[in-house]
Chain A
Amino acid sequence: MAWDRNQMAARAAQELQDGMYVNLGIGIPTLVANYIPEGVQVTLQSENGMLGIGPFPTENEVDADLINAGKQTVTALPHTAYFDSAESFAMIRGGKINMAILGAMEVAENGDIANWMIPGKLVKGMGGAMDLVAGVSRVIVVMDHTNKAGESKVLKACTLPLTAQGVVKRIISNLGVLDVVEGGLKIVECADGVTEDDIRTATEATIVS
């Protein structure tokens, strides 16, 4: 038993607070938008130059000039604002975005994150990931706890090229929620049917109590 993709997204959505400006990464983080709690108004930022991302368009609403950072067609909201890429990253680098929720290949117990490159495999580029994790005050990673081979993605030290050092504050995995604290990771919450021992077994990083 563990959380599925949608349950992980729903759990991540609980991190959102009213009034926040938030950047959601590609993959499971994008699903977080479907679970924003009632009464909480958050404004989603797309780093290609938009604050206030609306839902996918209907066939009639599709507009080639209106896409998100994943290059998917989207719509605008009444409070939407558009701006250029330099302005977009000025607000990211300048610490104006309250939270970034993104995926990762590896996270280390000191908050290091690797999510852009696997040596020897095709390298597509970091896009805006390095800017986001360096500039946003609260970085939350949503990812599976282990890879397809069953190896932990929550490590003492990252083995892949880093996206940034010491930036991750919280990990939400299919097994539960862990915080980066002094000396290692602290288990905050276990997923349904998952025990702390299950998390310890699946975690290479140091777990402190």
Chain B
Amino acid sequence: MKKVYGSAHEALEGLLFDGMTIAAGGFGLCGIPELLIDAIREAGTKDITVASNNCGVDDFGLGVLLKTRQIKKMMSSYVGENAEFMRQYLSGELELEFNPQGTLAERMRAGGAGIPGFYTKTGVGTVIAEGKEHKEFGGETYILERGIFADLSIVKAWKADTTGNAIFRKTARNFNPPAAKCGKVCVLEVEEIVEPGTLDPDAIHLPGIYVHRLIQGQHEKRIEQRTVRAA
């Protein structure tokens, strides 16, 4: 069982194809799989559907795959930080499926848990509910949302052992665990790979069963809104 690869490029070997669906972790630029995104840019894979809460900024995160026109469709909850996104969307080059943030997270979680659909109150009576099955439970109306089953998950954690047991740091966890679970194959990038036995088994956030390939590397970890108070 070899999960550790030498580079993002090697870890993606044989996994990329045109027209594929990729689930990506991260919230804004926090906790994004920046090394894997860059390797996908280099690979030149086209017509990708990406399920990710946001789409990076113009020159960082998933934004770099927009610039190279590799993304055909985004499934996101908020895309306000990206001018190139708006340009491609308004000109019809890019498809966009808005999902309420919690619905997107649960669609990923459900897909990873083998659940093809679930009912939620979120979005009832809004454009989100159009065309979706409505059902009453206990006198309240819910809509059917579908689980996401991706071809590939690309996620980022803080540390993992060589078997893929991973821990995240602070709010960089965000969409990474649900995104990791909903792909047929999951590639994880971390800041540090450690030997089994180093991480406390009681503190594992993502068990290694969900992780198929693993790389370690340097992360830029760009900050989107640096807000500070006087010392």
> Which residues of A approach B to under 8 Å, CB–CB?
46-50, 55-60, 62-68, 70-74, 76, 82-86, 88-90, 92-93, 112, 122-131, 134-135, 161-165
Q: List 28 A-B contacts (CB under 8 A).
A: A47-B102, A56-B228, A57-B228, A59-B231, A65-B158, A65-B221, A67-B28, A67-B224, A71-B81, A82-B170, A83-B173, A84-B175, A84-B178, A84-B205, A85-B102, A86-B105, A89-B101, A89-B103, A93-B102, A93-B106, A124-B78, A126-B98, A126-B128, A127-B78, A128-B101, A128-B102, A134-B121, A134-B124
Given contacts A57-B228, A67-B224, A130-B123, 5 further A-B contacts (CB under 8 A): A74-B227, A84-B174, A122-B80, A131-B122, A163-B126
Interface residue from B79, B80, B105 paired with A88 (Cβ < 8 Å):
B105
Chain B interface main SS type: loop
A46 to B171: give the CA distance in the assembly, Å: 9
A10 to B68: give the CA distance in the assembly, Å: 47
Interface residue from A46, A62, A90, A161 paired with B126 (Cβ < 8 Å):
A161
Interface residue from A59, A72, A128 paired with B100 (Cβ < 8 Å):
A128
Interface residue from A47, A50, A125 paired with B98 (Cβ < 8 Å):
A125
Cβ-defined contact, B177 with A86, below 8 A:
yes
Chain A residue contacts of B77, Cβ below 8 A: 125-128
Query: Which residues in chain B, 90-124, are within 8 Å of chain A measured between CB atoms?
Result: 98, 100-103, 105-106, 108-109, 120-124
> Which residues of B approach A to under 8 Å, CB–CB?
27-31, 53, 76-81, 86, 98, 100-103, 105-106, 108-109, 120-128, 158, 168-178, 205, 221-231
Interface residue from B78, B105, B121 paired with A85 (Cβ < 8 Å):
B105
A59 to B81: give the CA distance in the assembly, Å: 24
Write the nearest CB–CB distance from B114 to chain A, whole angstroms: 15
Interface residue from A49, A70, A124 paired with B225 (Cβ < 8 Å):
A70
Cβ-defined contact, A130 with B126, below 8 A:
yes
CB closest chain-B residue, reference A132: B102
Chain B residue contacts of A60, Cβ below 8 A: 231
A92 to B120: give the CA distance in the assembly, Å: 12
Interface residue from B80, B102, B123 paired with A124 (Cβ < 8 Å):
B80
Cβ-defined contact, B225 with A71, below 8 A:
yes
Cβ-defined contact, B100 with A64, below 8 A:
no
A60 to B226: give the CA distance in the assembly, Å: 12
A126 to B122: give the CA distance in the assembly, Å: 11
A156 to B122: give the CA distance in the assembly, Å: 23
Cβ-defined contact, B128 with A73, below 8 A:
no
A71 to B162: give the CA distance in the assembly, Å: 31
Q: Given A47-B101, A73-B223, A164-B124, decide whether A86 and B178 contact each other with a Cβ distance below 8 A.
A: yes
Cβ-defined contact, A65 with B127, below 8 A:
no
Chain A residue contacts of B223, Cβ below 8 A: 62, 64, 67, 73
